[in-house]
Amino acid sequence: MIYFNKELVCLEGKEIKRNQTKLRSYIEYYQEHKHIENLDQVIYEVEYHDNGLNEGDQGGLFWGISHVMPGTIGNEYHMTKGHLHKKAETGEYYWGLKGIGLLLLVFEDDSYELQKVREGSVHYIPGNTSHRLINCGVETLSVGACWFTESGHDYSNCHFPIRVVKNGENKVEIINSTSKNQNK
């Protein structure tokens, strides 16, 4: 049995696994990635119910919470790596628990949508859609997720044509990605 602690907005219990993603592991995803100090800072953490199933198993579900820390790298807001699903046609639900942010969805036809994430917002991510969370607020962005065990994560073939940057005092601006490789 696990519990959702709604005061602390986290999961509790023995059957919880946590994966932290440090800046060092994906610094090149950010536009300004030279002369950045503290590469060992944790940018986001995913905690999920270790329900005995493995990624790739048929017919099961995973359930967890992503926490994206507040801040910027250069002027670009902290974000998750973003991914497609290895089993690309599978969808997923996200829902906002705490903080303010954006969910970037990039569809098969290359069109994109930025959905505002806040406490109580519910987001359906269709299959074949690249998805990434961006924390453009001043506190941790915590987002619940439910996805298929068979979905998997594909970090190579996803596609993110825009970046979200801080322009001035907490002004959020959307700019086109200048990266040649728009996966990053």
Is the Cβ of residue 92 or residue 150 nearer to Fe ion in the bound state?
Answer: 92
Is the Cβ of residue 76 or residue 92 nearer to Fe ion in the bound state?
Answer: 92
Query: Which residue matches tokens 């086109």?
Result: 176
Q: CB within 8 A of 180, min separation 6: which ones?
A: none
- Kindly state whether residue 47 participates in binding Fe ion, applying the rule CB under 5 A: no
CA-CA distance, 48 to 59, in Å (whole number)?
A: 17
Nearest-approach distance from CB 75 to Fe ion, in angstroms: 27
Torsion of CA 133, 147, 95, 21, to 10 degrees: -40
Q: Binders of Fe ion among 109-138, rule CB under 5 A?
A: none
Q: How many residues bind Fe ion (CB under 5 A)?
A: 1
- Kindly state whether residue 92 participates in binding Fe ion, applying the rule CB under 5 A: yes
Is the Cβ of residue 105 or residue 165 nearer to Fe ion in the bound state?
Answer: 105
- Any idea how long the chain is? 184
- Kindly state whether residue 150 participates in binding Fe ion, applying the rule CB under 5 A: no
Sign, Cα dihedral of 23, 28, 30, 33: positive
Instruction: Specify which residues 144 forms β-bridges with.
Output: 65, 95
Is the Cβ of residue 80 or residue 165 nearer to Fe ion in the bound state?
Answer: 80
Residue, CB closest to Fe ion: 92
